[in-house]
Amino acid sequence: MRRATVRRKTKETEVEVKLNLDGSGESKIQTPIRFFNHLLAAFAKHGCFDLSVKASGDLPHHIAEDVMITLGEALTKALKDKKGIERMGEAIIPMDDALVLVAVDLSGRAYPDIRCKFRKKQLDDLSSDLFTHLLQTFATVGRFNLHVEIMRGFNDHHKAEAVFKALGIALRRATGKTSRRKIASTKGVL
């Protein structure tokens, strides 16, 4: 089993993330931001990851940001030497009116390109401008290439939720194992 537990404590927040890449989609997400909890649960379910998140702190921005930092560290730790993984993964996922694209390359190089626009300033209790920042943070700390594009859609909730579902699916595919190749790079290391 590829799993990791990462704890992070600062003057602003206290976060604990437990991640199992070879899980079954079970999650227990405890942050004060309900819509963020909803997104992380969708990510775990569709990624078939087991994910436990406990986070508290001063401001919603700090808490959500620090959860994504900790999740990025947990992903890197759980992947270890990346032997046998597919490395790339993608998903084009609809949710009623919304259609989103997510593509990842677990290259070891941090490169986020996030194209998400929302109609409203708030996604329930999560601020819309934080959404892009959270995905950038995850890819930067997890050192992977992440492209996200909301291709169309009307409802902000659907657009945001579809992105986290697609992120789970793309990462499930990228972290998935292939027995025919040891390391998915001509350099011999990832």
Among the listed residues 164, 177, 180, 184, the one whose alpha carbon sits nearest the alpha carbon of residue 46? 164
Nearest to Mn ion by Cβ — which residue? 161
Side-chain half-sphere CA neighbours of 54 within 13 A: 8
What are the tokens at 82? 């990346």
- Is residue 76 within 8 Å of 20, Cβ to Cβ? no
Contact segment (CB under 5 A) with Mn ion among 81-89, 130-138, 158-166, 182-190 equals: 158-166
Separation CA 169–CA 16 (nearest Å) = 23
Q: Using CB under 5 A, count the residues that bind Mn ion.
A: 1
Given the complex with Mn ion, which of 66 and 161 has the nearer CB atom? 161
Separation CA 53–CA 31 (nearest Å) = 7
CB of 161 to Mn ion, least distance (A): 5
Contact segment (CB under 5 A) with Mn ion among 114-122, 137-145, 155-163, 173-181 equals: 155-163
What are the tokens at 102? 């997510």
CB of 96 to Mn ion, least distance (A): 10
3-state helix, strand, coil in the chain (%, to 5): 35, 35, 30
Contact segment (CB under 5 A) with Mn ion among 63-71, 124-132, 153-161, 174-182 equals: 153-161
Q: Check residue 105 for interaction with Mn ion (CB under 5 A).
A: no
CB of 173 to Mn ion, least distance (A): 23
CB of 4 to Mn ion, least distance (A): 27
Q: Check residue 161 for interaction with Mn ion (CB under 5 A).
A: yes
- Contact residues for Mn ion (CB under 5 A)? 161
